[in-house]
Amino acid sequence: MTGKLSTHVLDIANGTPAQGVRIDLLRGSGPGATPIKTVHTNADGRTDAALLENGALATGAYTLVFHVGAYFRAKGTAGAGAFLDQVPVMFSVADASAKYHVPLLVSPWAYSTYRGS
């Protein structure tokens, strides 16, 4: 099995996929993290392709930064970005041959994430 990293974003305040959310992928966590790529979600709240695949996924720490304040501001949500602006999700890959799916369920005031399939 070839390892793969993917994500999607659901807008739980409006009950829809979150289209147009900027997501930054970094290798590592904290100030020393190295940017790998920036993507935006499509109409299904997913990225058009896996974030990492075909041998690009390695063991170690990663960070996904979801720019949710900008997303909610673009939707005209009152108070958007006043509480959550960027949501960093730091996680570890222990098996580079496994699939890691890291979804974000978000509103302007709360979020949750988990390791999906």
Kindly report the pTM of this predicted structure: 0.96
In which band, very low, low, confident or very high, does the pLDDT at 19 lie, cut at 50, 70 and 90?
very high
Looking at residue 116, its pLDDT comes to 92
In which band, very low, low, confident or very high, does the pLDDT at 6 lie, cut at 50, 70 and 90?
very high
Q: What is the mean pLDDT of residues 18-24?
A: 98
Q: Would you state the structure tokens that stand for residue 70, as one six-digit string?
A: 């900008």
Residues whose CB is less than 8 angstroms from the CB of residue 46 and which lie 6 or more positions away in sequence, other chains included: 6, 7, 8, 17
Residues whose CB is less than 8 angstroms from the CB of residue 54 and which lie 6 or more positions away in sequence, other chains included: 2
In which band, very low, low, confident or very high, does the pLDDT at 2 lie, cut at 50, 70 and 90?
confident
Looking at residue 115, its pLDDT comes to 96
- Is the pLDDT assigned to residue 105 strictly greater than 80? yes
Q: Which comes out higher in pLDDT, residue 78 or 27?
A: 27
Domains of the chain: 4-113 (2.60.40.180)
In which band, very low, low, confident or very high, does the pLDDT at 107 lie, cut at 50, 70 and 90?
very high
> What letters, b where the CB count within 10 A reaches 16 and e where it falls short, cover 43-59?
eebbbeebbbeeeebee
In which band, very low, low, confident or very high, does the pLDDT at 117 lie, cut at 50, 70 and 90?
confident
Paired sense of beta strands 87-93 and 34-40, if any = unpaired
